[in-house]
Amino acid sequence: MNTATESGKGKYNRFLLLVAGLGGLLYGVDVGIIAGALPYLEATSGLSGNQLSIIVAAVLLGSVISTLFAGLLADWFGRKPLMFVSGLLFVLSIPMIALAHGYGPLVMGRLLQGISAGLIGVVVPLYLAECLGAANRGKGTGMFQWLLTLGIVVAAVVGYYFSLQVAAIEKINDPQKLFAFKDNAWRSIFWVSLPPGILFVIGSLLVAESPRWLYRKGKIAAARTALLRSRTEEQAETELKEMGDIIAAEKAKSAAGSQSSDSILSRKYVIPFVMACVILACNQATGVNSIIGYNATILIQAGLSDAHAHLGYVILTLVNFLVTMIGVALVDKKGRKFLLSVGSAGIIVSLICTGLIFQKTEKLRVDVKDAVQSVVVSSNQTATVEFNAATAATLLAGKGGTEPSTLVVIYSYGDFHAASKVVRSDDVGAKIEINRDGCLPPNKVAAFFQNPFADLDKSKAAPLVIDHALITPVPPESNGWLTAVCIFSFMAFFAMGPGVCVWLALSELMPTRIRSNGMSVALLINQAVSTTIAAVFLPSVGQHGYGTMFFIFAGCTVVYFITAAFFLPETKGKTLEEIEAHFEGKKH
């Protein structure tokens, strides 16, 4: 083969890696973009804590839906068309969100973004595994994961840029101008993520279809053509022969299995499946997506200014990005079990330290529910609290407390409860608006999922009840940075262990016979846990405090550590058959 041909094939392989990287970048942007936008969305949208939580969680819910069907769709329509559709959905979601006025369009746009992320997370790694040669396969998976973390960094840098602009506007002390700029800021943050999506859509049109998918569909000539874009003729013929041998072996095994007594409920299937589900559920129960998604908000409540909180988020994403590279370098040297054990142990310590720091401040909370109940407008059962230093002093009259402080209101209409956003008394124009729309679900279907025992019709006529109105002193900036360091530590241990190892260990644990269905169920559990945590995070924090949430995350991670350290076998350097034999109880 001449040099020009070799150069062309090398360029195509690099192009495949670039498209894979863009897929990872989009997935990372999906996860990270909301953290920078959320403080400004909170300040300008008038949405309740419940509604904001659902907007954050909508991406995860969309991912649950699409993850469940992504493998099936990829088998039906092909890898390349599904990559194109996933990128197109992302592109369409951006204007839907950025131009939204109201709760419904925001949820729909974020849901669409989540569906895109779920499809990308399944189809891009699958496509890479089937298209790249053995020498480039690990590089391709690493590129996807590496640029996924870079996508989160990009989202954080964009958020930090706008936080600096907001800080400059705040000095003018013009509430209307500040409100208008914050409203423009969160919309602009989403617009900035549009170009990578367009590039991914274009890239997905220019790559070849997966040769293995084509072969399984009986399109042998097309599979050969696809292989020849990145392989020599000899390599292509060798791989085509291997594909034929594998399909023939699968058919023979399937025919033999129809007469076999090998039960799907046998030890070698059930134990690795349950272990995989526990690991994936605990992976999300560390709170990682909520800690990333709400990071700027968490750091603001810990004592940092808006600009410093966004800087802290940038640092967090850089830690994730850099330590992921270290984890990728160590995973084949130290093994999956070792990194998962060390990573989960470090996560536990980091979460407990963060919880203790928050608990120290949150013990000073003062409940002023009676004072807030007194400002409820009886005619329409709404309430508005403009929270500044003077208001805080009035609400805290005779109860102590210091300035600056934060206020969160937990309220109810009948059987439905909600938490307001958290506002700081030193923020220009900070206020809490409470109304029925921010608490009650839009219909009886949504009401059933929110509270299956509630009566929506009675709640629509029920009075507004202030359950708690909690004022908490804002800690000094040094407290905020100490909290940030603990969260950076959490991110480093997560990136080194679970972030790098969990998907690799999962794919190795699942026996061949149940891999596709088992992966779908395990991924569904993973996304369901993540969605649930994101949906209840803000209301739970409003009622119980950040300290309690971090302790709960730490408790869940203890289960993770025990599973990884004492039950998970080391899969490094073992064939899939050896791993299956381990769960069957055979000795090697």
Q: Which of 445, 468, 491 is the last residue of a domain?
A: 468
Chain length of the chain = 588
Q: Are residues 181 and 51 in the same domain?
A: yes
How many domains does the chain contain in total? 4
Is residue 227, in this structure, part of any structural domain at all? yes
Calpha distance 151→196 (Å, rounded)? 10
Is residue 311, in this structure, part of any structural domain at all? yes
Which domain range does residue 430 map to? 366-400+405-468
Is residue 424, in this structure, part of any structural domain at all? yes
Contacts of 513 (CB under 8 A, 6+ apart): 257, 264, 269
Q: Are residues 55 and 153 in the same domain?
A: yes
Q: Are residues 245 and 287 in the same domain?
A: no
User: What are the pLDDT tens digits along the chain (588 aa)?
Assistant: 555 555 556 677 778 778 777 887 877 777 677 777 888 888 888 777 667 777 877 887 788 788 778 777 888 888 889 989 999 999 999 999 999 888 889 989 999 988 998 888 778 777 776 776 655 555 566 667 777 788 778 777 887 888 888 878 878 878 888 888 888 888 988 888 888 889 889 988 888 888 878 887 888 888 888 878 777 787 778 777 777 776 776 567 666 554 444 455 666 667 777 777 888 888 888 988 888 877 877 888 888 887 788 888 889 988 988 888 888 777 767 777 888 889 999 999 999 999 999 988 888 888 888 889 999 998 889 999 988 888 888 888 766 666 788 888 888 898 888 777 778 888 777 888 898 887 887 777 667 756 677 788 899 999 999 988 888 888 888 999 999 999 999 999 998 888 877 766 665 666 555 555 666 677 677 777 876 787 677 667 777 888 999 999 999 999 989 988 888 777 665 544 555 555 565 554
Q: Are residues 61 and 107 in the same domain?
A: yes
Is residue 260, in this structure, part of any structural domain at all? no
Q: Are residues 251 and 278 in the same domain?
A: no
Q: Which of 433, 448, 468 is the last residue of a domain?
A: 468
Q: Are residues 414 and 434 in the same domain?
A: yes
* E strand intervals along 286-438: 366-367, 383-386, 405-413, 416-419, 423-424, 431-434
- At 551, which CATH number? 1.20.1250.20
Q: Are residues 216 and 125 in the same domain?
A: no
Q: Which of 468, 499, 515 is the last residue of a domain?
A: 468
Is residue 99, in this structure, part of any structural domain at all? yes
Q: Are residues 497 and 580 in the same domain?
A: yes
Q: Are residues 47 and 192 in the same domain?
A: yes
Q: Are residues 187 and 92 in the same domain?
A: yes
Q: Are residues 490 and 434 in the same domain?
A: no
Packing angle, helices 515-544 and 267-285, rounded to 10 = 30
Q: Are residues 43 and 155 in the same domain?
A: yes
